[in-house]
Amino acid sequence: MSNIVDPLVRQIAARVRAERERRRWTLAQLAEASGVSQAMISRIEREESSPTAVVLGKLSAAFRLSVSSLLAAEGETATEPGAERVRRQTDAAEWRDPETGYRRRQITTPRFPAEIAEIRLPAGARVPYPAAAFAFIRQLVWVLDGQLTFHEGDLVHELHAGDTIELGEPAPRTFVNTTDTDCRYVVVLTRNQQP
């Protein structure tokens, strides 16, 4: 087994640990707040496990951060004059859910006032998020390719290429691809309140 750790796994580990320590939470307190086991949180923080999209959603909800914020490197808020504004596709790291194959590429940097991410949801994949993951944010989903079955609480929306949905009040949400081809969509997120 290789001792080489994926840079994104290292980045996520550092960010989860930093957010937990910033709040002075123990592993037990974060586990209680998120519904993720202490053992899993410990493995994530020790860079022994890459969290799934579901686990990231639960942790982001506990921290009252967006998933994009949780995936960002600690201190990645450069605002110095002359900072590079052109961002090449190869510069944007892509995170892959080890369970579903869901892939997420952050399009914007923390300097931009909205978070924009490109998502690729493989055929047959299902990614649920708790309602708390959507507190304090406004979100729009724009399907670029394929079909997305979007569950918002008790409502189910069938979205096709070109369709958008502006999300309402926080509710449990599930992104599902019931087709045999990948679905590609963009998530645009803004914070509407401070936690």
Question: What pLDDT was estimated at residue 45?
Answer: 93
pLDDT in tens, 61-71: 898 887 877 77
Lowest mean pLDDT among 49-53, 100-104, 153-157, 164-168: 49-53
Given a cut of 70, whether residue 26 has pLDDT beyond it is: yes
Q: pLDDT class for 5, splitting at 50, 70, 90? A: low
Gap between the Cα atoms of 184 and 127, Å rounded: 14
pLDDT in tens, 45-101: 999 988 888 898 889 889 888 787 777 765 544 444 445 677 677 766 788 998 999
May I ask the CATH architecture of the domain 91-191? Sandwich (2.60)
Percent of the chain residues past pLDDT 70, beyond the cut: 87
Quick one: average pLDDT of 102-109? 88
Question: What pLDDT was estimated at residue 106?
Answer: 87
Which two structure tokens, joined as six digits, stand for 192? Answer: 């509407």
pLDDT in tens, 110-123: 778 888 999 999 99
Strand order, beta sheet including 155-160: 126-129, 173-176, 147-152, 155-160
- Higher pLDDT pick, 192 / 120: 120
Lowest mean pLDDT among 24-38, 45-59, 112-126, 148-162: 45-59
Which two structure tokens, joined as six digits, stand for 158? Answer: 């069938």
Domain ranges of the chain: 7-71, 91-191
Closest-CA residue to 71 (of 129, 126, 7, 25)? 7
Residue 54 dihedral angles phi and psi, to the nearest 5°: -65, -45
CATH (one of 3.90.76.10, 2.130.10.10, 3.40.50.1370, 1.10.260.40) for 7-71? 1.10.260.40
